[in-house]
Amino acid sequence: MGEIFKHSYTQYTVIKNKEFSEIQDISDDELNFLKRRKIVKFESETTYNTEEGYLENYGNLLCSVDKSYCLLVVEKKSNKISLKIFYGNRKRLAGRPYFTTSKTMRYATVNTDNGDFYSGYILEYQKKRKYRKNLQKNHFKDDFLTKMLNVWKDLTNQNCNSIFSEALNVFKENLGIPVISETREQLLKFYLDKKKIKYPNNFVIFWNDNFPSLKLKDIKKSDLKLVDSFMEKNSLSGNNLKKALHICNHINLKLIKYSYELFPEDWLNKDYKIISKILEYQTATAIYSNIFPFYYENLSILKSKKNELRRVFEIFLIVLENKINIFSFIDHLRFYCQLKSFGENKLKWKSNDLDSFNDEHLYFSELVQEYTEGNYQRFYPQNLTSLIEKPIDVGEKYFPILLDSSENYNRESSVQSNCVRTYIGRPGSLIVSIRKNSEDSDERATMEIKFHKENGKIRFTCPQFLGRFNNKLDDDWESTKDILLNRLNLISEKEFENPKIQRVFPNGRKLISDSEWDENGNLFWNKVDITSYIC
């Protein structure tokens, strides 16, 4: 058996040009320039989108012609079923006697005997030697079929969704997969069943970009038990952890590993519900790079003091209930370790509930501030400041204020009872105070905006957007945050100037530093001592 579904789509574009081009208002210098080189200039007259127009003007050098096609196919050959998209074009520009051709194919193939799933593409396969290809075997992290649908949408202007759905249904029916089902999940289940792997109902969460893929050779080491192999591959153990992995809907692998590094194993393993909350905890991507900025020497001191560590654990449980922001908890740990490194040997972690944490957090941040004596001023380009501080009207009026000096960082900390005063030395962070109804309002939100360079573009994200005492904000603030982020993400690299910082010491000494991008796209101050003890 060969093709069991086939649908093709062809589009023709013909631009017929005039037999002449008018030349007007050309100076003598421009005319002399034109005489020294060959200039080809056409002025369009008519456009056709029919096959007849394409065939009629195929060899007409006054016309540019383009035939684009795409073909959606489901094939069944022996023990393999494939969904394929072939697409490309054949075109010629006006004035040129030759055509250029492009051919590409994307595919998803399932081996019905052993469940193996193959996906990939062949680009420019009309070139016998210079084509490019990609093949992935049993790569279930990405929904490759959704990517194929997006390609199909870009290529066609028909009722593309229904046509692709029809092809996908034929593909599923021939695999024995329920038509009304999530395709990626069912393909993964088909693979697991064929390999006789033992898996829980939530099997799909074990294929995630945030941790290494489980390969068949890993699973075979654990007697074909999916959860056991995941635990072994990631150096995890414990019956309650195993129980939690069987029922959770998300795996925050970084957080569970850091939790085991910070707290005694028996504290975490005594209750699978605690482990479930850690696994399910949703954190921003940015947190993964430095979720606990460990100061190992001082953290080991904290871990040796069981009474203090027990209180840290009690606060951590409140974090898991989303009553304390995890960034505030991380900052609190950082403050504690910093202050210990500064010689505050008598310092103790005393907080064990929400109110005492907020009070202690303010005390820690003020104490850290004493070690950062000196006034700071950050300098931003005027276009960035104007863009951020443009008022936002969403029924209520909001006034974003970009903080740029020790004075307004400290004032924001005082009004909001947070530790934002310690953020002034972070090169890759902007702090924006968003005030409701007036620029001087105390009804406000403090927004941290982080930025980095990625693929030649500046990316802005918001890891923290909190109210007073680092409390969660009402939903009516969300649109303001989104509008501000959307504004910033329109800034091009050319329009963005790196911030500068100035530090003035009590003795009048001044230090000024520019900032530069490192190889990972993060900013750093190029004077290393400009923010000693502050970051």
pLDDT number for residue 432: 96
- Could you tell me the CA-to-CA distances from 179 to 79, 170, 175 in Å, in that order? 20, 8, 10
Q: Is residue 155 part of a domain?
A: no
pLDDT number for residue 535: 43
pLDDT number for residue 32: 65
Question: What is the span of the domain harbouring residue 113?
Answer: 3-140
Return d(Cα 257, Cα 274) in angstroms, integer.
14
Closest among 85, 120, 119, 108 to 174, alpha carbons compared: 108
Angle in degrees, 0-180, between the axes of helices 296-304 and 306-320, rounded to the nearest 10: 100
Query: Do 500 and 513 touch, CB atoms closer than 8 A?
Result: yes
- Residue with the two structure tokens 């040009």: 17
pLDDT number for residue 248: 92
pLDDT number for residue 533: 47
Q: Is residue 13 part of a domain?
A: yes
Q: Is residue 307 part of a domain?
A: no
Average pLDDT, the chain: 86
- Which pair of tokens denotes residue 502? 């100035």
pLDDT number for residue 354: 93
Q: Show the CA angle centred on residue 259, arms to residues 256 and 260, nearest 5°.
A: 90
Number of domains, the chain:
2
Q: Is residue 151 part of a domain?
A: no
Query: Do 83 and 108 touch, CB atoms closer than 8 A?
Result: yes
Q: Is residue 267 part of a domain?
A: no
Give the three-state DSSP class for 336: helix
pLDDT number for residue 289: 47
Q: Is residue 204 part of a domain?
A: no
Residues of the chain with pLDDT under 70: 1, 23-40, 157-159, 284-298, 342, 370-374, 505-509, 528-535
Domain termination residue (choose one: 140, 165, 189): 140
pLDDT number for residue 294: 46
pLDDT number for residue 39: 61
Burial classification of residue 367, based on how many CB atoms lie within 10 Å of its CB (0-12 exposed, 13-18 middle, 19 or more buried): middle
Q: Is residue 211 part of a domain?
A: no
Q: Is residue 31 part of a domain?
A: yes
Domain termination residue (choose one: 88, 113, 140): 140
Return d(Cα 27, Cα 78) in angstroms, integer.
71
pLDDT number for residue 530: 64
Angle in degrees, 0-180, between the axes of helices 354-370 and 326-341, rounded to the nearest 10: 40
pLDDT number for residue 303: 80
pLDDT number for residue 212: 77
Domain termination residue (choose one: 117, 140, 163): 140
pLDDT number for residue 400: 95
Q: Beta strand 375-379 with 132-137: parallel, antiparallel or unpaired?
A: unpaired
